[in-house]
Amino acid sequence: MKEKHTTAKLKTRLQQSVAGLRQDENGLAAIEFAILAPLLISMYFGLAEIASAVAVDRAVSHATNVIGDLASQTSNLDKDDLEDVLSATIRVMNIENASGATIQIDSWARDSDGKNTLVGSAVMNSGSAPLPSFDPAGVDGAMMTENSGILVARIAYNYSPLKFMYMKQDFTMSDTFILKPRRSSEVTFGSTDGKTYSCTGSGKTVSCS
């Protein structure tokens, strides 16, 4: 009889303990945090990587538009003009060192026979980053005629992401803008002979020759 009573008491205590555990919420938040924390942290780093890459991509596009816009506002670009325009472009891109960017400006004209002629060109840091391809033959005849040429601005930038979790490798961001000259039928470089300038950008300074 005594043994049955003891067993009943143990069973009652066990049931009370189990019921207490079910009602005890101490540590529940810690368990939930331990489950969700890895997911939240990975999302945070992923968003940081994406936001940084998007910001740089927009800066490259904006800089491509800016350099084309500045170059189109004159009828002739000499060495000093190019250095100023390229330096301004680097500052718009807001990059620490221009050596990772390749910038090219080309001025094209088309004669009455439909022949395309390069009447001026400038390249900064040629080969540092692969520029997007451009074929003047593909430009619509309504945009480039024998009476009005075009300016083509291209930028390529070797982007190094934050490399927190997802973006582990460097890649190239690039863009191309085609604009019409504003003060003349075409923009020449250095002279009417269509000079080609070679420029070097380092830090935030540019030198052309």
Q: Does residue 52 contact residue 166 with C-beta atoms inside 8 Å? A: no
- For residues 69, 70, 73, 77, the Cα torsion angle rounded to the nearest 10 degrees is -130
At 113 the pLDDT is 87
Q: How confident is the model at residue 2 (pLDDT cuts 50, 70, 90)?
A: very low
Share of the chain above pLDDT 70, in %: 85
CA 134 – CA 72 distance, rounded (Å) = 18
Q: Does residue 110 contact residue 138 with C-beta atoms inside 8 Å? A: no
At 18 the pLDDT is 52
Region 30-35: what's the mean pLDDT? 77
Count CB-CB contacts under 10 A for residue 129: 19
Its pTM stands at 0.81
pLDDT tens sequence across 119-176: 999 999 999 999 999 999 999 888 999 889 999 999 999 999 988 888 889 999 999 9
At 141 the pLDDT is 87
CA 109 – CA 23 distance, rounded (Å) = 82
Q: How confident is the model at residue 11 (pLDDT cuts 50, 70, 90)?
A: low
